[in-house]
């Protein structure tokens, strides 16, 4: 493993070594783990997709084959019905409408054809001439000229099929094979027709469904899209079937329950099969379930066969295969995860904690408890991790001692720092506070003795409006600066939005855009009371290291202000002594002229001006030897 990682590192390009992946051993090992696990999982995913597609195509092909077989059988039955009515149309007794002859002929046909439940003849005017069985009930004499199949037969010389309907004669769902009767002169004499009992088709479909897969539904639709063959038609339990649409109405004056249809489906399967197409679609049923629907046309009548079943059933084998593959992939992945967890616990996690510990060494900030405990535990290991932990512990102790020495030097330098240009020193202090504390804003507030309030005397990053408007009363209870000056200790507000005692000042913080503030008092004796403020735009808890750093800068600022105050006081005393000396020299009766080494007149009293006969302002612009020449 070590040799492999060394080899990988040697192959890293320069840009990679600077990236996080190049600097994080954990990420490198994770990438190596992914390189081993990833291709296997990708191959398994591709194999799963290919197998799902192949199995789905096989399921679709099987349903299409079933639909094709039913369509061929139904087409043969309908072709036989066409031949039957064509044969009847050639019979003389049918041509002439002889009732006795038709009774015998139609009776023989009923006995020979179990799928025919009614044979009849309509006259040229569409009135029922005779039907067999004769009844009851009987519709002889009833006008059926309104039937679409009668009107189609009148305009044709070829056999036609009617749409499915409920027969008023037998009360059963039927479809009619119709043959026009044409005499020798070519005149239309009526039609001979056989009602095909759709129940026989439904019984056939029921047998197929009973021996097929669970959830399989096979139906036949006519040219109008009505379901004329369906297992539910045998029990008349159509209303409770959520997949079918049952439409009730009047069939041109004849009370009837119209046949159901697939009108609630929006997959286009019915229009496509009636247009002569074959295929399969996955569609949503009216109840929201998902189904696989395969369809094949019946060309002789313009009908179609639809085979459908829920996708949960149709693709059950696919789903089982998918779950098995997922389980296998999960076991493989789980093994890799266990390996990764062991590697992380023994190698990566110790290295991360040691790296975190080493980053905090020298920052005067306590390492997390997990890292500290880990270093203590790992020091007892005899491998490379233990050696590294012991080395880091020794280094941390040495750096901590060095920091103590530097702190002593910093405290010493605080006492000896001095400057006469207080504004320049304060500006430099604020700049360094911003840079080292990584804050956006910093300011010095000092007491304005004339107004009796604290105002900003120097700032960086604050808006002009905030600097001009800020007024802090010495007695203000919730201001960080006022509290720090009263208590003479640093005061911080970690979040101005949730600080319970900051309600009165919260709007001011929002307008300026800061969320955290730290105030450190300046320890002065001769200068006005003042405090150093730093602001952050995000909620923040200032650490001990940050407090020490800001306090150090506050001490520097206090000393600068103290020196400025003492210098101002010394300058005032010097001015007072100079005024006294001038008064003494003015009181002399003798003339007195003071000149510099260069001969310039520095002072001339009034007595000397009177003796020279000129004003003192003029005498002071002359050179000394000009006055005595």
Two structure tokens written together for 208: 């197929």
Pick from 66, 68, 317, 52: nearest CA to 216: 66
What residues are paired with 598 via a beta bridge?
none
Residue 574 belongs to some domain of the structure: no
Residue 480 belongs to some domain of the structure: yes
Sign, CA dihedral 549-554-559-564, equals: positive
Domain of residue 525: give its range: 418-568
What confidence score (pLDDT) does residue 254 get? 39
What confidence score (pLDDT) does residue 370 get? 60
DSSP 466: H
Instruction: Let me know whether 64 and 212 are in one domain.
Output: yes
Angle at CA of residue 372, ends 371 and 373, nearest 5° = 95
What confidence score (pLDDT) does residue 397 get? 74
- Cα 142 to chain centroid, rounded: 70
In the three-class reduction of DSSP (H, G, I as helix; E, B as strand; rest coil), residue 140 is classed as: coil
Residue 578 belongs to some domain of the structure: no
CATH of the domain at 450: 3.30.450.40
Instruction: Let me know whether 310 and 354 are in one domain.
Output: no
Instruction: Let me know whether 310 and 323 are in one domain.
Output: no
What confidence score (pLDDT) does residue 405 get? 38
Are the CB atoms for 221 and 261 separated by under 8 Å? yes
Instruction: Let me know whether 151 and 300 are in one domain.
Output: yes
Instruction: Let me know whether 335 and 376 are in one domain.
Output: yes
C-alpha distances in angstroms, 73 versus 78, 204, 272, 280? 9, 10, 20, 20
Residue 191 CA to residue 159 CA, distance in Å, equals 10
Instruction: Let me know whether 354 and 434 are in one domain.
Output: no
H/E run at residue 151: helix 148-154
Are the CB atoms for 532 and 546 separated by under 8 Å? no
- Beta sheet of 530-536, edge-to-edge order: 453-460, 441-448, 530-536, 516-522, 491-493
Residue 573 belongs to some domain of the structure: no
Instruction: Let me know whether 492 and 347 are in one domain.
Output: no
Residue 562 belongs to some domain of the structure: yes
Residue 68 belongs to some domain of the structure: yes
Residue 564 CA to residue 558 CA, distance in Å, equals 10
Residue 382 belongs to some domain of the structure: yes
DSSP 239: T
Residue 231 belongs to some domain of the structure: yes
Question: Tokens 């192949």 map to which residue?
Answer: 54
- Residues of the chain with pLDDT below 70 are 1-26, 210-214, 233-241, 246-258, 361-374, 398, 401-422, 564, 566-574, 628-629
Instruction: Let me know whether 374 and 429 are in one domain.
Output: no
Instruction: Let me know whether 66 and 52 are in one domain.
Output: no
User: How many other C-beta atoms are found inside a 10 Å radius of the C-beta of residue 470?
Assistant: 20
In the three-class reduction of DSSP (H, G, I as helix; E, B as strand; rest coil), residue 330 is classed as: helix
Residue 52 CA to residue 326 CA, distance in Å, equals 13
Tally the domains of the chain.
5
């Amino acid at each position: 493993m070590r040799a492999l990682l060394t080899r990988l590192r040697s192959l890293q390009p320069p840009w990679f070594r600077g990236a996080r992946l190049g600097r994080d051993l954990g990420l490198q090992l994770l990438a190596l783990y992914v390189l081993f696990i990833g291709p296997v999982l990708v191959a398994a995913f591709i194999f799963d997709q290919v197998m799902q597609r192949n199995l789905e195509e096989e399921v679709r092909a099987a349903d299409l084959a079933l639909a094709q077989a039913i369509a061929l059988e139904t087409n043969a039955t309908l072709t036989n019905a066409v031949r039957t009515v064509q044969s009847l149309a050639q019979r003389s007794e049918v041509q002439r409408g002889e009732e006795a002859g038709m009774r015998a002929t139609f009776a023989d046909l009923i006995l020979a054809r179990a799928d025919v439940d009614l044979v009849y003849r309509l006259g040229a005017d569409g009135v029922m001439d005779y039907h067999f069985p004769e009844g009851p009930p009987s519709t002889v004499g009833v006008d059926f000229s309104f039937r679409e199949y009668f009107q189609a037969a009148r305009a044709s010389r070829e056999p036609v099929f009617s749409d499915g309907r409920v027969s008023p004669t037998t009360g059963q769902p039927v479809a009619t094979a119709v043959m026009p009767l044409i005499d020798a002169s070519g005149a239309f004499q009526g039609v001979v027709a056989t009602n095909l009992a759709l129940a026989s088709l439904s019984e056939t479909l029921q047998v197929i469904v009973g021996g097929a897969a669970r959830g399989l539904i096979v139906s036949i639709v006519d040219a109008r899209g009505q379901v004329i063959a369906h297992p539910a038609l045998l029990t008349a339990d159509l209303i409770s079937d959520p997949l079918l649409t049952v439409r009730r109405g009047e069939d041109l004056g004849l009370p009837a329950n119209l046949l159901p249809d697939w009108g609630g489906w929006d997959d286009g399967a019915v229009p496509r099969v009636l247009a002569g197409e074959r295929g399969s679609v996955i569609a949503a049923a009216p109840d929201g379930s998902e189904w696989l629907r395969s369809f094949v046309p019946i060309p002789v009548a313009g009908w179609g066969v639809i085979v459908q079943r829920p996708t949960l059933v149709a693709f059950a084998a696919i789903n089982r295969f998918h779950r098995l593959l997922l389980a296998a992939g999960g076991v493989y992945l789980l093994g890799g995860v266990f390996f990764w967890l062991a590697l992380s616990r023994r190698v990566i996690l110790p290295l991360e904690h040691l790296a975190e510990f080493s980053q905090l060494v020298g920052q005067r900030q306590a390492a997390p408890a997990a890292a500290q405990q880990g270093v203590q535990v790992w020091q007892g290991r005899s491998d490379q991790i233990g050696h590294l932990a012991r080395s880091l512990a020794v280094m941390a102790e040495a750096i901590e001692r060095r920091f103590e020495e530097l702190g002593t030097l910093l405290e010493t330098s605080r006492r000896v720092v001095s400057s006469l240009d207080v504004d320049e020193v304060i500006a430099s202090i604020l700049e360094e506070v911003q840079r080292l504390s990584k804050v956006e804003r910093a300011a010095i507030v000092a007491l304005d003795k004339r107004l009796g309030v604290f105002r900003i005397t120097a700032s960086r990053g604050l808006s002009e409006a905030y600097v001009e408007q800020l007024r802090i009363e010495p007695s203000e209870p919730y201001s960080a600066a006022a509290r720090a000056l009263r208590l003479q200790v640093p005061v911080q507000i970690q979040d101005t939005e949730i600080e319970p005692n900051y309600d009165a000042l919260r709007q001011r913080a929002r307008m300026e855009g800061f969320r955290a503030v730290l105030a450190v008092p300046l320890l002065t004796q001769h200068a006005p009371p003042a405090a150093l403020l730093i602001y952050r735009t995000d909620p923040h808890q200032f650490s001990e290291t940050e407090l020490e750093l800001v306090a150090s800068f506050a001490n520097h600022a206090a000393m600068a202000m103290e020196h400025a105050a003492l210098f101002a006081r010394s300058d005032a005393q010097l001015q007072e002594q100079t005024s006294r000396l001038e008064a003494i020299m003015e009181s002399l009766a003798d003339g007195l002229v003071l000149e510099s080494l260069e001969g310039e007149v520095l002072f001339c009293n009034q007595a000397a001006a009177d003796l020279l006969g000129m004003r003192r302002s003029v005498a002071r612009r002359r050179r000394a030897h000009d006055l005595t020449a």
